[in-house]
């Protein structure tokens, strides 16, 4: 994920992270303990949170 930012200057979207879940489950077995739908929703929520933060739509500084 850091590699993408270094190469393109942009991070991954929530949707792009969501597509990595199967690969990440193979790398980190503990991810298999959670339902896939939960992991997918977390990825989408994370994408929205990052967008809001970097577009300064949040009150966090």
The burial of 15, by beta-carbon neighbours within 10 Å (0-12 exposed, 13-18 middle, 19 or more buried), is given as exposed
Residue 33 confidence (pLDDT): 96
1: pLDDT strictly greater than 70: no
Convert the pLDDT of each residue in 6-54 to its tens digit.
Answer: 788 777 888 888 999 999 999 999 999 999 999 999 999 988 888 888 7
Residue 54 confidence (pLDDT): 78
**Residue in 39, 41, 40, 43 with CA at minimum distance from that of residue 31:** 39
Domain assignments of the chain as residue spans, ordered by start: 2-54
4: pLDDT strictly greater than 90: no
Token pair of 56 as six digits:
């300064």
Residue 6 confidence (pLDDT): 77
């Amino acid at each position: 994920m850091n590699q993408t930012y270094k190469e393109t200057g942009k991070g991954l979207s929530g949707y792009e992270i969501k597509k990595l879940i199967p690969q990440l489950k193979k790398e980190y077995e503990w991810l298999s303990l959670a339902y896939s739908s939960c992991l997918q929703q977390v990825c989408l929520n994370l994408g929205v949170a990052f967008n809001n933060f970097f577009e300064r739509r949040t009150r966090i500084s």
